[in-house]
Chains A and B, each alone.
Chain A
């Protein structure tokens, strides 16, 4: 994956709070779900940034804000130097051409009453300038061929395809407008093991072919490692560790990353009795009422007084070459995933 070092996405201090209200006539805000709470990262052309974290950590909300499907509470999402979060009307429409999405569930994200040709070609209805009317059929067939589907199946309906093929349809739709960035939200987690590898290979091939940048959101850490150049680990709306894939997987510095990595079952029974495993206690706290200071402290075995009072910033800590948000960050090679 050749990254040219040309920055195409800059996310700064992104915050998305969903208000919690009480009352029907007199609505009052009584709090907020802090789904995304101050996230910053960059993405270069042709690069893949993996985002991992457990359910409820805000990774899907982050995807929606990047796509401008949700307006952020504050912060900016700069695509090629322009802020999509503040764009409106025609400008927003133009910017959206540049960032597209592949969804998790190929069973519910395709309209069952539309043919494959209509689904893949629908982006051209909105962005008519990309493909003139007469040219559309040819373009759609080309796209189907690119993702490894038979172009003659253009008049079939989604139910006539298997899960893996449906995900390919979703990918073809994402490619239709020739975007520079594709946000993949758990693109393979609904697929069978033997099909996952096919779809991952396809995504990698498309990246090389079109020099795409991916935001790859997944909870499967070995898949993320395979495809990503850099990885961000999220916990309760914050990035707790960010670095190159090797740094995150071989030298994790944040205790949460270490626990996450050690919890991943290794597909090799050799030495399973000796394997070090950090089993976290309890569940993640509610994002409506996150703990003070460091959000991980309630489940952390290193937590001390300072963790409750002072929030650790995401920065390069002594002894590491990548950013982590822990007062007591210390590299520790837990296990090798995958």
Chain B
């Protein structure tokens, strides 16, 4: 195990009132040949132990890039973080040395990815890949690492774990591969688990198994979980609070019950209304008109204004700040009162 000076590493227990993880005005941009792509434009959120935060958004909303910035796995360049803080137990991860960052990554903050087949290495056995966590981070021997791997595979309920230790990823089904990824992620008891679309590639019955497993592991270890998804159903099932992202910004954050009862941003409202519902069968579905914004050419003012039924003149010119609605709730819409009142447009 590598030596690090303890003063730069985030304290184990955390400092006083600091949340487990806090993002403050995070910006991420990519330099491309076509110009600068501002993928994340000032994202702030907090996460406490035992809490599940769902980050909801469509492709290109910046939800995955934010997660990769937290993990420190962005390719820099082309990516740059010109501004912002990622505080983990009070320490800004962006100011840590790469060596200290490595100590946090995987051990204290872990991540599971959408596509387990491409996230796992096809030429090593799963036992080898899981035990690698212990060999690299804990300095264990090969034999001890393998024993730990069996324990973990049992924990994520892979049947006949000992016999399957020397199998390769392609020999497992999609659901089982996702379990192997989860086993690797929880191997070192992380305090934060980031799950980036963990069940999008899976069938519903397998999705239910995986979500139940994640909830159970979270209850056991009290870790904080960031669930990145576009599925409003999964969010409603497991989240404590939600951050809705659009065009690289958070447009609404709230506790899960509040947002489903009465959304305070027209985008959230549109998403919720476009879900097919039993009582509206045979009628036309509500559809948000237009297309998601092009990150190279963001609309001025509010990024949602070209698609928004509540648009007024100032939406085209003024970027809405995150208005505070209550202690637990914000909306980045100049007209959140009208949206919240259920003014239908």
Give residues in A with beta carbon < 8 Å to B: 1, 54-55, 162, 164-165, 192-198, 200-201, 204-205, 219, 221-223, 225-226, 245, 249, 259-260, 262-270, 272, 277, 279-280, 282-283, 336-338
CB–CB B58/A269 < 8 A = no
User: A106 to nearest B CB, angstroms?
Assistant: 13
Q: Which of B159, B235, B291 contacts A282 (CB 8 A)?
A: B159
User: B287 to nearest A CB, angstroms?
Assistant: 4
Q: Can you name the residue of chain A whose Cβ is closest to the Cβ of B255? A: A269
Q: Given A200-B276, A267-B275, does the pair A194, B287 have CB atoms closer than 8 Å? A: yes
Q: Can you name the residue of chain A whose Cβ is closest to the Cβ of B173? A: A283
- CA gap between A54 and B201 in the complex, in Å: 11
CB–CB A279/B271 < 8 A = no
B163 within 8 A of A: no
Q: Given A194-B271, A223-B276, A270-B257, does the pair A264, B288 have CB atoms closer than 8 Å? A: no
B234 within 8 A of A: yes
CB–CB A1/B282 < 8 A = yes
B205 within 8 A of A: yes
Q: Can you name the residue of chain B whose Cβ is closest to the Cβ of A256? A: B205
- CA gap between A267 and B273 in the complex, in Å: 11
Chain A contacts of B206 at CB under 8 A? 54, 283
Chain B contacts of A265 at CB under 8 A? 207-208, 211, 231, 233-234, 236-237
Q: Which of A197, A268, A270, A282 contacts B288 (CB 8 A)?
A: A197
The contact sample of 12 A-B pairs, CB cut-off 8 A, is A54-B203, A194-B274, A194-B287, A195-B291, A196-B274, A205-B284, A221-B204, A265-B208, A269-B236, A269-B257, A279-B208, A279-B209
CB–CB A272/B286 < 8 A = no
User: B142 to nearest A CB, angstroms?
Assistant: 30
Chain A contacts of B175 at CB under 8 A? 283
Q: Can you name the residue of chain B whose Cβ is closest to the Cβ of A52? A: B204
CB–CB A263/B256 < 8 A = no
Q: Can you name 18 extra interface pairs (CB under 8 A) apart from A54-B204, A283-B206, A338-B277?
A: A162-B291, A194-B270, A197-B288, A198-B288, A201-B284, A201-B287, A225-B276, A245-B281, A263-B208, A265-B207, A265-B236, A266-B237, A267-B235, A269-B237, A270-B257, A277-B212, A283-B175, A283-B176
User: A250 to nearest B CB, angstroms?
Assistant: 9
CB–CB A193/B205 < 8 A = no
Q: Given A225-B281, A269-B257, does the pair A263, B207 have CB atoms closer than 8 Å? A: yes
Q: How many residues of B contact A (CB 8 A)?
A: 46
- CA gap between A1 and B272 in the complex, in Å: 25
CB–CB B291/A164 < 8 A = yes
CB–CB B281/A263 < 8 A = no
Closest 9 CB pairs of A and B: A265-B233, A226-B276, A54-B203, A197-B287, A197-B274, A263-B208, A192-B58, A194-B288, A197-B285
- CA gap between A200 and B173 in the complex, in Å: 31
Chain B contacts of A162 at CB under 8 A? 291-292
- CA gap between A277 and B286 in the complex, in Å: 29
Chain B contacts of A262 at CB under 8 A? 208
Chain A contacts of B286 at CB under 8 A? 197
Interface centre among A165, A265, A282, A338 (most CB of B within 10 A): A265
B101 within 8 A of A: no
User: B281 to nearest A CB, angstroms?
Assistant: 6
Q: Can you name the residue of chain A whose Cβ is closest to the Cβ of B246? A: A194
Among residues 283 to 336 in chain B, which have CB atoms less than 8 Å away from a CB atom of chain A? 284-289, 291-292
- CA gap between A195 and B159 in the complex, in Å: 40
Q: Which of B59, B203, B211 contacts A55 (CB 8 A)?
A: B203
CB–CB B232/A193 < 8 A = yes
- CA gap between A267 and B236 in the complex, in Å: 5
Q: Can you name the residue of chain B whose Cβ is closest to the Cβ of A204? A: B284
B123 within 8 A of A: no
Q: Given A194-B292, A201-B287, does the pair A263, B204 have CB atoms closer than 8 Å? A: yes
User: A258 to nearest B CB, angstroms?
Assistant: 11
Q: Which of B230, B260, B287 contacts A268 (CB 8 A)?
A: B260
User: B108 to nearest A CB, angstroms?
Assistant: 29
Q: Can you name the residue of chain B whose Cβ is closest to the Cβ of A202? A: B287
Chain A contacts of B59 at CB under 8 A? 192
CB–CB A201/B275 < 8 A = no
User: A301 to nearest B CB, angstroms?
Assistant: 13
B278 within 8 A of A: yes
Chain B contacts of A223 at CB under 8 A? 276
- CA gap between A279 and B274 in the complex, in Å: 28
User: B280 to nearest A CB, angstroms?
Assistant: 8
Q: Can you name the residue of chain B whose Cβ is closest to the Cβ of A277? A: B208
Q: Which of A267, A272, A280 contacts B209 (CB 8 A)?
A: A280
